[in-house]
């Protein structure tokens, strides 16, 4: 659709788009500290979640974000839908948008699913994870968390550890960190690195013990067995010994350094069982920040007129300056 904004990949956003959404997220983080964390910014808008893959935090986070902006929400569950009767992605999505939906948040096992929907539908599309390809709002919330804990992203040394090959989180995060001038090292066995990783412009290591003391951020990824087509590791135990961040390894981090994880966690595999509760770990902050960042993303797509007429009675027209986004009211 011409002129309509979508949020499909970090590359599409560019450094300016990333910075704009991170700035907006600050305003919404303030809303989320209020006794009633709700503003009427998207009243009259409808946000549909179309999740064709399992999700706990991403789906709840988007739904919470939409409700806190006073949007209406509708939810589609692959398991209980007509998909089992053979309906295609395109027909399913067109059915949902025919009901008058302004934004579709989609998660799908196929890379490119969100881009395809953005061409087919008359609605803004947010990619909430497409196969091993991208997960841009996760990268945004991770950048927001790094900024909040470390005061900035530029020049920070970020080690991303684990199953990079099957991780859409890693692809989006590397792209975002590079746009924001951080320095990235991937730490993984050769079997869990993606093909042509040399072209990514990142450091590579297979020795976590070398990397830990010099990192500002250690970002851990789960073994994504559901996407691995063959056995890529001798055993989880061996993976933990070489690439897991045990409590003992975490104690060798610099004092200011942080440990991040997008969830779901597999304690005792990529992360030591006690590490999520250590003060260096930001896992709950990432989840909390996810709501503010997704409020910012939804507002960036739907609150700013970008070829979209303002809904009757909308308080947010024309678009406010980023700093005033949260001042649109507090009902």
Our CB check for ligand NCD shows the closer of 58 and 70 to be 58
Our CB check for ligand NCD shows the closer of 6 and 135 to be 135
Residues 31-70 that bind ligand NCD (CB under 6 A): 57-58
135 is catalytic: yes
> Does residue 253 contact residue 213 with C-beta atoms inside 8 Å?
yes
Our CB check for ligand NCD shows the closer of 224 and 310 to be 224
CA distance 121 to 91: 10
| Selected binder of ligand NCD within 75, 205, 224, 310 (CB under 6 A) | 224
Quote the least distance from Cβ 94 to ligand NCD, whole Å.
25
107 is catalytic: yes
Quote the least distance from Cβ 297 to ligand NCD, whole Å.
14
Is residue 271 a contact point for ligand NCD (CB under 6 A)? Answer: no
108 is catalytic: no
Residues 247-266 that bind ligand NCD (CB under 6 A): 262-263
Quote the least distance from Cβ 313 to ligand NCD, whole Å.
35
Residues 116-175 that bind ligand NCD (CB under 6 A): 129, 135, 138, 168-169
User: Taking the CB of residue 23, how many other CB atoms lie within 10 A of it?
Assistant: 14
**SS percent in the chain: helix, strand, coil, step 5:** 45, 15, 40
| Selected binder of ligand NCD within 5, 6, 171, 222 (CB under 6 A) | 222
40: closest CA among 61, 63, 71? 71
CA distance 299 to 25: 10
The active-site residue, picked from 4, 23, 38, 57, is 57
Our CB check for ligand NCD shows the closer of 18 and 169 to be 169
CA dihedral of residues 300, 305, 306, 309 (deg, nearest 10):
140
57 is catalytic: yes
CA distance 108 to 214: 36
Contacts of 192 (CB under 8 A, 6+ apart): 162, 163, 164, 165, 166, 223, 232, 233
Residues touching ligand NCD, count (CB under 6 A): 11
157 is catalytic: no
Quote the least distance from Cβ 228 to ligand NCD, whole Å.
12
Quote the least distance from Cβ 32 to ligand NCD, whole Å.
19
Our CB check for ligand NCD shows the closer of 225 and 251 to be 225
Quote the least distance from Cβ 169 to ligand NCD, whole Å.
5
The active-site residue, picked from 6, 43, 107, 156, is 107
Classify residue 42 by its DSSP letter: T
Our CB check for ligand NCD shows the closer of 146 and 169 to be 169
Classify residue 12 by its DSSP letter: H
CA distance 267 to 273: 5
Helix (H), strand (E) at residue 92: helix 89-97
CA distance 78 to 53: 7
CA distance 180 to 198: 20
Our CB check for ligand NCD shows the closer of 112 and 263 to be 263
Counted residue by residue, the chain has a size of 331
Quote the least distance from Cβ 136 to ligand NCD, whole Å.
11
Provide the token pair at 290: 């996810």
Q: What are 105's strand-pairing partners?
A: 49, 126
User: Is the preceding peptide bond at 318 cis, omega within 30 degrees of 0?
Assistant: yes
Site residues (CB under 6 A) for ligand NCD?
Answer: 57-58, 129, 135, 138, 168-169, 222, 224, 262-263
Active site residues: 57-58, 85, 107, 135
């Amino acid at each position: 659709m011409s002129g309509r904004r979508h949020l499909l990949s970090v590359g599409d956003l560019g450094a300016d788009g990333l910075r704009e959404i991170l700035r907006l997220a600050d305003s919404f983080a303030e809303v989320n500290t209020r006794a009633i964390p709700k503003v009427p910014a998207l009243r009259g808008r409808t946000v549909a979640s179309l999740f064709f893959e399992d999700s706990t935090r991403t789906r709840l986070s988007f739904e919470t974000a939409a409700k806190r902006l006073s949007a209406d929400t509708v939810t589609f569950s692959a398991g209980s839908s007509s998909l089992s009767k053979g309906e295609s992605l395109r027909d399913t999505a067109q059915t949902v948008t025919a009901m008058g939906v302004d934004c579709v948040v989609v998660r799908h096992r196929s890379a490119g699913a969100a881009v395809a929907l953005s061409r087919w539908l008359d609605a803004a599309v947010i990619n909430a994870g497409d196969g091993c390809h991208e997960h841009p709002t996760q990268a945004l919330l991770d950048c927001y968390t790094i900024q909040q804990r470390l005061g900035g992203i530029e020049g920070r040394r970020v080690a991303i550890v684990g199953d990079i090959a099957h991780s859409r989180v890693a692809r989006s995060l590397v792209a975002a960190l590079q746009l924001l001038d951080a320095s990235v090292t991937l730490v993984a066995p050769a079997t869990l690195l993606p093909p042509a990783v040399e072209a990514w412009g990142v450091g590579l290591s297979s020795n976590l013990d070398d990397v830990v003391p010099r990192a500002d951020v250690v970002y851990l990824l789960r073994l994504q067995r559901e996407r691995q087509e063959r056995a890529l590791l001798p055993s989880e135990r061996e993976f933990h010994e070489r690439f897991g961040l045990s409590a003992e390894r975490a104690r060798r981090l610099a004092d200011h350094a942080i440990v991040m994880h997008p969830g779901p966690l597999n304690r005792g595999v990529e992360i030591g069982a006690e590490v999520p509760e250590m003060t260096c770990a930001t896992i709950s902050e990432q989840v909390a920040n996810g709501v503010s960042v997704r409020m910012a993303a939804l507002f960036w797509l739907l609150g700013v007129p970008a070829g979209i007429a303002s809904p009757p009675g909308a308080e947010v027209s024309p678009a406010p300056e980023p700093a005033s986004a949260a001042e649109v009211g507090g009902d």
